[in-house]
Amino acid sequence: MLGLVAATGLGGAATSWSRPAAAAQVPIGSGVSINPRSAWGGDLAPRGPLESEAPGDVRFLLVHHTVSANGYSAAAVPGLLRGIYGFHTGAEKGWPDIAYNFFVDVFGGVWEGRTGSIETPVKGSATGGSQGYAQLCCFVGDHQTVAPTEAAQASMVALLGWLAGRYDIDPSPGATVTFTSRGSQRWPAGTGVTTATISGHREMSNTVCPGDAAFVLVRESFPARVQASLVAPPSTAAPTTTAAPTTAPPSSVPSTTAAPASSTTEASTSGPSGSATSLPSTSVPTTAGADEVAAPATGSGAGDGLSLPLGAAAVVCGAAGGALLLRARRTSPPG
């Protein structure tokens, strides 16, 4: 069991927390499991009400990155998440809980982020106004120029596949979804938006998140990999005996295979419809956004007595050119 963890939040107040010896993990396939909220922040309650998407309203999956340093240890991950929680719920951002539903670290660890995300489709924050309809999956690291590790990629694919199966999302290459924005800094409320069912944060906000090196994976690699993860392996059962053909002529009755059901306008997984605005397939905005932020932390030690002092500096997700914009406070209001 990890011993007492002392963490200093952005406001400088120290909190103490003893992690459970064996927090229950949730298997999601391919040898990957989700570490529940209790594994890093069971004592960190939401600071405001949380809402869940209505049934059928999780329509796509959105990939982010924290823009924090990549060179952390496995033992430091809980402290990093606690630091991000402190900044997201602090005075500068003021969100009710950590912004993302799930995190994936460089070692392939998967972590529940926002409280209740394993059990229900909790709405996230940090999408330029939180236009909704998605679950937010975030790499812990900076992937503007450095791609996620193979372990992180494999776990992200497993997480996206688990969510796609859970919420009946078609992750295949070219699959899209259409919805009416509830409002964001890129898509004003009432705007029709059509996007890929596996998208990057920059497609919903004016930001470069999840970084160029991760976004190319989101666009070109993840859909096929996620789709493949959902395909059941061939059956190993013995083949059934084939009946001898009859002498009757072939039937002229047409096949009874049903045609695909048409999708509704709001939950369509086809191309754009009506007045919906399609996202470009070859170019994306690179304007640095300031709506998503994470608090870096330093960690040392492992096992019993792990101490993870958390710094007060903040980094902006989507900083142009991958540069980290470090600051303790910002004079402009939260994004």
**Structural Rg of the chain based on CA atoms:** 22
pLDDT at 33 over 60: yes
Among the ranges given (213-227, 236-250, 307-321), the one the predictor scored with the smallest mean pLDDT: 307-321
Q: In which residue are the tokens 């800094």 written?
A: 185
CA dist 9 and 220 (Å) reads 38
pLDDT at 324 over 60: no
Query: Would 146 be classed as within a structural domain?
Result: yes
CATH classification of the domain holding 289 = 3.40.80.10
**pLDDT at residue 265 in the model:** 31
Query: Would 330 be classed as within a structural domain?
Result: no
Distance between alpha carbon 168 and the CA centroid of its chain, in Å? 16
Query: Would 237 be classed as within a structural domain?
Result: no
Q: Which helix H or strand E contains 178, and what residues bound it?
A: strand 176-180
Q: In which residue are the tokens 């191309």 written?
A: 271
Number of compact structural domains in the chain: 1
Among the ranges given (106-115, 136-145, 195-204, 287-296), the one the predictor scored with the smallest mean pLDDT: 287-296
The residue segments making up the domain with residue 109 are 21-37+53-231+264-298+308-322
Residue 232, CB half-sphere, CA atoms under 13 Å: how many? 3
Query: Would 183 be classed as within a structural domain?
Result: yes
Query: Would 25 be classed as within a structural domain?
Result: yes
Confidence of residue 176 (pLDDT cuts 50, 70, 90): very high
pLDDT digits (tens, 9 = 90+) for 237-294: 444 443 444 444 333 333 333 333 333 333 333 333 333 434 433 333 333 444 444 5
Query: Would 63 be classed as within a structural domain?
Result: yes
Angle, helix 222-230 to helix 212-220, in steps of 10 degrees: 50
Query: Would 256 be classed as within a structural domain?
Result: no
Which of 42, 159, 162, 45 lies closest to 109, judged by CA?
159
Contact 128, 189 (CB under 8 A): no
Query: Would 31 be classed as within a structural domain?
Result: yes
